[in-house]
């Protein structure tokens, strides 16, 4: 079995990764690195690469690190890399206030991007991306998940993510980057 060290303290990220990787024969080894500096950059890919390389320097073995956030095209991509900060300061109600003049689902279109950065034993880093499309609700709804789950409605659904239990909620998240990464690991490391 291939072991993949995942540098995160986020239990939801760990559980989500396990749901994808364990059936593929990849064991997730979570590790929390408390003093891992996160740079401020213009895009999630830069942040993920920097964090993954820094995590690799600290633990000295192949490691996965990710960065992601919500992109709202009508707000010129805001909050993007500032998603966590915006959630802590403006909150979901503040985001909804910014969107109050937009009524159609098309105008309220939003997507989450997640960049998975894998730094390998030789220090090289590869990035795999996941996209989860949907739109913003007009009001908060649901009790599950975290803040933005209360206002994000996944493509093809009529309720926010917060209206679904964890396993169902995880199924809405874009997994293409995780699967691509898993296949890469299986191809490269299966016989090692």
77: CB partners within 8 A, 6+ apart: 71
* Dist CA 109 CA 155 (whole Å): 9
Q: Show the tokens assigned to 13.
A: 């990220």
User: Residues 61, 2: contact at Cβ < 8 Å?
Assistant: no
Q: Show the tokens assigned to 89.
A: 């300061």
Residue 59: closest CA among 8, 126, 129: 8
User: Residues 59, 33: contact at Cβ < 8 Å?
Assistant: yes
SS3 of 175, please?
coil
Verify whether residue 67 is a known catalytic residue. yes
* Dist CA 7 CA 51 (whole Å): 9
Phi, psi angles (nearest 5°) of residue 79: -85, -15
Please tell me which residue in 34, 42, 67, 105 is annotated as part of the active site: 67
Catalytic residues: 67
């Amino acid at each position: 079995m291939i072991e993949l060290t995942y540098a995160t303290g986020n239990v939801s990220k760990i559980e989500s990764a396990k749901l994808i990787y364990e059936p593929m024969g990849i064991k997730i080894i979570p590790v929390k690195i408390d003093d891992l500096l996160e740079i401020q950059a213009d895009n999630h890919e830069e942040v993920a690469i920097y964090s993954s390389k820094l995590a690799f320097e600290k633990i000295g073995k192949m490691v996965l690190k990710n960065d992601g956030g919500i992109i709202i095209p009508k707000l010129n991509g805001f909050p993007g890399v500032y998603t966590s900060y915006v959630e802590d300061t403006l909150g979901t109600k503040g985001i909804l206030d910014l969107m109050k003049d937009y009524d159609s689902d098309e105008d309220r279109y939003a997507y989450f991007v997640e960049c998975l950065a894998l730094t390998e034993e030789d220090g090289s880093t590869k990035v795999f991306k996941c996209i989860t499309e949907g739109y913003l609700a007009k009001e908060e709804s649901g009790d599950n998940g975290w803040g933005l789950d209360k206002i994000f409605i996944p493509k093809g659904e009529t309720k926010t993510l917060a209206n679904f239990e964890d396993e169902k909620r995880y199924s809405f998240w874009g997994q293409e980057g995780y699967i691509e990464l898993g296949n890469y690991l299986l191809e490269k490391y299966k016989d090692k």
